[in-house]
């Protein structure tokens, strides 16, 4: 009937508007039941459960055998970690897989069969699930004793497929690959030509004394390649040059030429290429988000305009205000926006809305939310008013900063004086007394500010919340200290009591005080700009970080599978190769550097290793290679680390720099424009940053896209 039809239209409009708000695609089924399922699927609870499932399955790596649940990861001291009984992690995994199965079936149903076959991501999702389940069955049938678990490497895919941002980012990284590949090829040519040169230059001579360079760095092709690759990462810089340079100064020319060309030119060229490719990236992604939003709103308009209530006589299609109000009440959206739209709607005298009016109404969604702080309390007493003026004044805040600085300096002085003292010689009286004084001041400051501003207004500022929380924690710690150890007095050096020693308590208090000093940041203009840029960047980088996590996870699991147990404590292995005749260790070897905690035995450990080798390139890498001379995993480890270095350090860091440049330059330009408005706190989003350069989609584009909708049949 007409009523049921109307209900359907209203529901469709609600879903389309929700899609618009969250920048979702509107290409899904639009019948009543599907709409209910769609809203349920995208409800907060459902999405939260899905997110939790992904987190759980990724986090399993820390608990599974080899588990990371030991305090140290040093193979020499580590006790055998607790390993979960067979079946525990496996049953959690099965539960996750079942949830993913549910997820994939709902998703496939909602987009419809026709679209399903076109969607490669969903196909890959199903394939991954099938492979994982098969692997799981194999695992159980071997009673968890099998060595290779493919499903572990596949896990990060679940994270990837769940984020549309990450998929989009992956696509644009993909389109940059050909050019990156050219530069990497150029680097490879550079490296191989110089390797040949080096091998010819530092060939073996008859005089064995002069052969140092050859013996250590250029003994054969793989060694030479490695030496120069590591030089490209600048990790072995003066060392690799020293033996040749010691013979003749002129040899330094070779190394300097190599690094100038490779490191200064080619590596930075990679940055330039990636920056050039990603220059428009943010803008493009914001533009496509805007298009989705406009499309969702237009779709809502179209379905509402086909409601039976509307007079058929109207030439132009239009929407009744009543229907829109009904939709708005049911739609889930930010209450501020909802109220603003309702208000505009009520003020508007007309009864019918045209498409343009309808769009304009929803522009409220794109606007800055101007944050309003609650008002200060109004005191009657003249004295209180004066107090309020004094302690609400910015100068009182500056005074607080000065006191915090004084506290920092006093801690610093005590640290310098106590640096070399034995713990037993240390006298905690001075530090205890001054900290007590400063904490009392902080408490007083907090109370006076609350008095001046009122609790609500006080808490509405993030900097005050940060301050207050730390002050309260400090106070509690201080009271606990005094109740256990008594008040400070000269020669205050009590015995260990309770959970923490006095010394630990004092250290903790000091650390919190140092941390509290960060409150000065918003007071310095440039710092504030930098910090907000960084925070913005973190928001925009989420998709990139996600992709890095995906790659990282796969690498870490592969690393564990390949190299687990490769590091064996000294004594178990024949250490003959790494020691001198008189029993001391040779320099630069794994054993001498005491890299025992760096091994591949568990996931947490692998994360730390990857961090080191990713960012600091080759230090660990060289260490592992030197260690290689003893063991036989050498070649694999080399290839593995070079691949990881390329992906994480070369490509990802450059992506990061590109985004930082993009973000910062936009922000900087904007700062100059908005100087005058700087008092108002904007809750800025990326969308807002680009607002003045964005292009509004035209009506034709929107309608064309709407007519391509696979499930929605528009009347006209």
d(CA 53, CA 50): 5
Q: Which lies closer to a copy of itself via its Cβ, residue 581 or residue 695?
A: 581
- 356: region left, alpha or beta (phi > 0 left; psi from -120 to 50 alpha): alpha
Q: Which lies closer to a copy of itself via its Cβ, residue 392 or residue 588?
A: 588
Shortest Cβ 629–a copy of itself spacing (Å): 15
Shortest Cβ 256–a copy of itself spacing (Å): 6
Shortest Cβ 516–a copy of itself spacing (Å): 11
Shortest Cβ 271–a copy of itself spacing (Å): 6
Q: Sign (positive/negative) of CA torsion 598, 601, 602, 606?
A: positive
Q: Which lies closer to a copy of itself via its Cβ, residue 247 or residue 709?
A: 247
Q: Which lies closer to a copy of itself via its Cβ, residue 351 or residue 581?
A: 581
Strand partners, 370: 682
Burial class (CB in 10 A: 0-12, 13-18, 19+), 49: middle
d(CA 262, CA 269): 10
Shortest Cβ 305–a copy of itself spacing (Å): 44
CA dihedral 55, 58, 61, 62 (to 10 degrees): -30
d(CA 60, CA 146): 17
Q: Which lies closer to a copy of itself via its Cβ, residue 273 or residue 566?
A: 273
Shortest Cβ 303–a copy of itself spacing (Å): 43
Q: Which lies closer to a copy of itself via its Cβ, residue 109 or residue 429?
A: 429
3-class DSSP assignment, residue 600: coil
648 in Cβ contact with 609 (< 8 Å): no
Q: Which lies closer to a copy of itself via its Cβ, residue 476 or residue 511?
A: 511
d(CA 21, CA 294): 10
Chain centroid to CA 623: how far?
A: 29
Shortest Cβ 406–a copy of itself spacing (Å): 14
Q: Which lies closer to a copy of itself via its Cβ, residue 263 or residue 460?
A: 263
How many Cα atoms are found within 13 Å in the side-chain-facing hemisphere of 546?
A: 21
Q: Would you state the structure tokens that stand for residue 363, as one six-digit string?
A: 């522009």
Q: Which one-letter DSSP state was computed for residue 250?
A: T
DSSP of 616-683, one letter per residue? STHHHHHHHHHHHTTSS-HHHHHHHHHHHIIIIIIIIHHHHHHHHHHHHHHHHHHHHHHGGGTTS-B-
- Measured CA to CA in angstroms, residue 671 lies from 312, 369, 532, 664 at distances of 51, 18, 11, 10
Q: Which lies closer to a copy of itself via its Cβ, residue 89 or residue 617?
A: 617
Q: Which lies closer to a copy of itself via its Cβ, residue 218 or residue 442?
A: 218
Shortest Cβ 272–a copy of itself spacing (Å): 4
d(CA 716, CA 704): 12
């Amino acid at each position: 009937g007409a009523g049921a039809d109307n209900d359907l239209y209203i529901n469709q409009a609600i879903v389309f508007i929700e899609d618009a708000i969250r920048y979702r695609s509107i290409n899904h089924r639009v019948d009543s039941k599907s709409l209910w399922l769609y809203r349920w699927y995208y409800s907060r609870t459902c999405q939260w459960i899905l997110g939790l499932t992904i987190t759980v399955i990724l986090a399993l790596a820390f608990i599974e055998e080899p588990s990371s649940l030991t305090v140290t990861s040093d193979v020499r001291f580590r006790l055998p970690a607790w390993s979960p009984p067979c079946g525990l992690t496996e049953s959690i995994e099965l539960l996750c897989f079942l949830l993913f199965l549910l997820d994939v079936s709902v998703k496939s149903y909602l987009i419809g069969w026709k679209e399903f076959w076109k969607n490669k991501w969903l196909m890959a999702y199903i394939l991954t699930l099938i492979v994982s389940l098969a692997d799981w069955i194999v695992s159980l049938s071997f009673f968890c004793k099998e060595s290779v678990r493919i499903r572990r490497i596949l896990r990060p895919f679940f994270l990837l497929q769940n984020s549309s941002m990450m998929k989009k980012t992956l696509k644009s990284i993909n389109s940059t690959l050909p050019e990156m590949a050219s530069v990497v090829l150029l680097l490879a040519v550079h490296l191989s030509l110089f390797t040949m040169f080096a091998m010819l230059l530092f060939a073996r001579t008859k005089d064995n004394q002069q052969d140092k360079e050859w013996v250590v760095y250029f003994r054969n092709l793989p060694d030479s390649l490695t030496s120069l690759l590591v030089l490209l990462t600048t990790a072995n810089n003066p060392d690799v040059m020293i033996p040749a340079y010691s013979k003749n100064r002129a040899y330094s020319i070779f190394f300097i030429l190599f690094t100038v060309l490779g490191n200064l030119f080619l590596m930075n060229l990679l940055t330039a290429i990636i920056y050039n490719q990603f220059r428009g990236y943010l803008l493009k992604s914001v533009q496509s988000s805007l298009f989705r939003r406009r499309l969702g709103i237009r779709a809502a308009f179209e379905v509402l305009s086909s409601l039976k209530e509307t007079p058929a006589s109207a030439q132009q299609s239009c929407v009744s205000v009543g229907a829109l109000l009904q939709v708005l009440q049911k739609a889930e959206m930010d209450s501020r926006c909802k109220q603003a739209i309702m208000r505009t709607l009520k003020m508007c005298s007309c009864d019918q809305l045209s498409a343009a009016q309808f769009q304009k109404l929803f522009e409220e969604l794109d606007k800055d939310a101007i944050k309003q702080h609650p008002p200060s309390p109004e005191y009657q007493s003249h004295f209180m008013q004066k107090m309020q003026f004094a302690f609400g004044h910015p100068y009182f805040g500056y005074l607080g900063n000065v006191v915090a600085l004084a506290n920092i300096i006093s801690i610093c002085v005590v640290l310098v004086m106590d640096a070399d003292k034995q713990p037993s010689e240390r006298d905690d009286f001075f530090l205890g007394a001054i900290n007590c004084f400063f904490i009392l001041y902080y408490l007083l400051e907090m109370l006076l500010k609350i008095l001046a501003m009122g609790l609500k207004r006080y808490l509405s500022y993030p900097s005050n919340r940060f301050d207050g929380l730390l002050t309260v924690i400090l106070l509690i710690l201080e009271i606990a200290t005094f109740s256990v150890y008594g008040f400070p007095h000269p020669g205050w050096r009590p015995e260990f009591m309770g959970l923490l020693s006095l010394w630990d308590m004092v250290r903790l208090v000091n650390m919190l005080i140092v941390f509290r000093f960060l409150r000065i940041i918003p007071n310095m203009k440039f710092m504030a700009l930098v910090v907000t840029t960084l925070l913005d960047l973190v928001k925009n980088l989420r998709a990139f970080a996600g992709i890095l996590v995906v790659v990282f996870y796969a690498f870490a699991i592969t690393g564990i599978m390949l190299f687990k147990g490769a590091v064996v404590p000294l004594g178990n292995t024949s250490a003959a190769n790494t020691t001198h005749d008189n029993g001391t260790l040779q320099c630069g070897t794994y054993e001498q550097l005491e890299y025992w905690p760096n091994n591949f035995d568990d996931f947490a450990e692998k994360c730390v290793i990857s961090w080191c080798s990713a960012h600091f390139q080759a230090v660990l890498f060289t260490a592992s290679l030197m260690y290689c001379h003893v063991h036989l995993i050498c070649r694999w480890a080399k290839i593995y680390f070079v691949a990881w270095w390329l992906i994480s350090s070369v490509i990802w860091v450059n992506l990061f720099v590109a985004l930082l440049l993009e973000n910062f330059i936009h922000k900087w330009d904007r700062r100059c424009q908005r100087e005058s408005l700087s008092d108002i706190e904007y809750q800025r989003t990326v969308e807002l940053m680009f607002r003045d350069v964005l292009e509004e989609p035209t009506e034709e584009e929107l309608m064309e896209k709407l007519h391509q909708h696979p499930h929605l049949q528009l009347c006209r």
